[in-house]
A = this chain, B = another copy of it.
């Protein structure tokens, strides 16, 4: 099974995992299934109308009130997948994810350790861009959800035989584990992992880089020194991801203690802009409006004067203001 995250596809087929783009805030993952329907408040979309169309197609439907509803069918990517996740879960967003991949020097032969898996948003970025991802999750339910998701996404082969054969194996290995307590070494005979190869007594992870997104990363750092965990033949990079500065401080302490050097603390500040066109409002138009008002007032005053002088007059001149508009492109950050 090819993963939609690690190879390109041109035509939508039955069984494909696709992302339905309804709006920026509403992107739904579904598996294309013959004779099923995708229902939105903008209309009903039969899967059969989607099968055979090229990826990226806009699918339109007539709604009951004779208007059009439409959706777009996209092939999943880690970035679109991240957008589709509900905001309530803790997500490593693309601003951070891309910087992390860059600083960890990720390429197609890289072997990555990640703990914990969490919402698996970053795992998908790793899975797309590296050779092998070993990810750890200590929360039982989240582990099972992520395992299921990796399988559905073709990132874990369901009939795998040999994990160390790079051409023919899963991109991702997930282990149910508290790495702070039990470290990173994997023993497929004992551990709850996605590995099917039960005959391996233990596995050389040989990781080139490490990503820790844990409440207390400093408790996990010394476990990286266990045999077989890191690639001893080259420089290994580590990234620890923490919200609080006190956590960073403790992490720096542990990293220094265990011989990590060139430690840098950074924060990624990502912004997204809305652009819009802003009408140019000319001073002359404003002045003309005021002049118009003044003329009318003066006419009124004069009329009242004339009325006072018993001279009747009914003609009121109305003037119309012509306003011309120009537009300027401006940016607007959404809240």
Contact = CB atoms under 8 A, between A and B. Distances in A.
Interface string A243-269: 001100100000000000000000000
Contacts of A245: 245
A150 B313 CA distance: 70
Nearest to A248: B245
Contacts of A246: 249
Q: State how many copies of this chain the complex holds.
A: 2
Residues of A contacting B: mostly: helix
A249 B245 CA distance: 10
A183 to B, nearest CB: 31
A76 to B, nearest CB: 33
A245 B267 CA distance: 14
Contacts of A249: 246
Interface string A230-248: 0000000000000001100
Nearest to A329: B328
A311 to B, nearest CB: 51
Interface in A248-295: 249
A48 B249 CA distance: 61
A246 B246 CA distance: 9
A333 to B, nearest CB: 14
A152 to B, nearest CB: 43
A268 to B, nearest CB: 15
A249 B246 CA distance: 10
A321 B258 CA distance: 65
A120 B199 CA distance: 74
A196 B245 CA distance: 48
A149 B78 CA distance: 61
Nearest to A249: B246
A249 B248 CA distance: 14
2 contacts: A245-B245, A246-B249
